[in-house]
Amino acid sequence: MFSTPDGSVSVPPDIPRAFERRADGFRHAAGGGLWLAPLVYLEHARFGPGWYGKVVSADPNRLLAWAVSKAIPQRALQFKSLPDLDSPLHRRRRLPGYHIDLWGARLALAYDPQTIARARARSPAPIP
């Protein structure tokens, strides 16, 4: 899956990075880095309404190494292409990409407590 330097028992996995601009996050992920996508509130989602996030990368091995370090099963890895933001808009290409969805208690595996608290504070009121 990934290599470790000689004499090393383990190497800590990369830490996902958040970006102010989504475009910067997409570029970081397309280059093989781990991007911590912004939290979104989903009313009708597979695991119920709530805040969802994801860690995204074009490098599945790096993403899996991060997931394993957080005790997230490898089956959580999903394929979804990334936009190539450096290609012309009218001929935008798609690049191979992968992500791992996070929700509920799993959010704390990647998002800092302040980010989660700010997201919950802006949580939309339930529709009656």
Domain residue extents for the chain = 22-121
Which one-letter amino acid corresponds to residue 108? A
Closest CA to 15 of 71, 64, 66, 52: 66
Token pair of 127 as six digits: 């529709």
Give residue-wise pLDDT tens across range 58-105: 999 999 999 999 999 999 999 999 988 887 878 888 999 999 999 999
* Torsion (CA) 77, 85, 50, 64 in degrees, nearest 10: 20
Q: How confident is the model at residue 127 (pLDDT cuts 50, 70, 90)?
A: low
CB 62 within 8 A of CB 14: yes
Query: Between these two residues, 114 and 3, which has the higher pLDDT value?
Result: 114
> What is the pTM for the complete model shown?
0.81
